[in-house]
Amino acid sequence: MSRQHFFHDYLGTVTQKLNDIEPETLERAAAMVRQVYGSGNKVILAGNGGSAAMASHVAVDLTKTAGIRAVNFNEADLLTCFANDYGYENWVAKALEFYADPGDLVVLISSSGASKNMVNGAEQASAMGLAIVSLTGFSPDNPLRRLGDLNLWVESNSYNIVEMTHHVWLLAVVDYLIETNG
């Protein structure tokens, strides 16, 4: 396969995945964020690896450009302390227990939807009565997808395709909120 053919096919796949979502689903995600903002609460984002970097980016953009209070759990001392004391599979759940307030929105990002720390985080958020937006890919019946109040799912088994799609969707929600004034 030629390089030109690879990139044409690759970018075509990304474009197709980006357009697989119904715009109403992204509008619903924006409405959930807007509701949290309107009630004076915050958005909490978490992910692993590239999804953690995405959570940081989106939290900063929500706060700085959209004026919506958002945080993420990417501080090394928090993550390593909670993982050490409660187990890696429980650190997100424990962080939510310590930092989430009633009425907050939790956004959990996992390409596979099977990351135990994200699944346990969703279960904790649900037990606390928090709204959950999950972003997943891979299997359509992944555990995290079943736990979200709203799930943005990418039909792909490629980490980079899933992560790039999630990232663009989330930033599209941020831009929509800016464009429609929060």
pLDDT at 48: 96
Q: What is the pLDDT of residue 3?
A: 77
Task: Parse the chain into domains and list their residue ranges.
Answer: 3-179
Calpha distance 176→115 (Å, rounded): 29
pTM of the model: 0.96
Ranges of residues in the chain with a pLDDT under 50 are none
* pLDDT, position 181: 84
Count of alpha carbons within 13 angstroms of residue 98, beta-carbon side: 12
Specify the pLDDT at position 182.
Answer: 60
**What is the distance between the alpha carbons of residues 57 and 3, in angstroms, rounded to a whole number?**
30
Q: Which listed CATH number (3.40.50.10490, 3.30.70.20, 3.40.718.10, 3.90.1170.20) goes with 3-179?
A: 3.40.50.10490
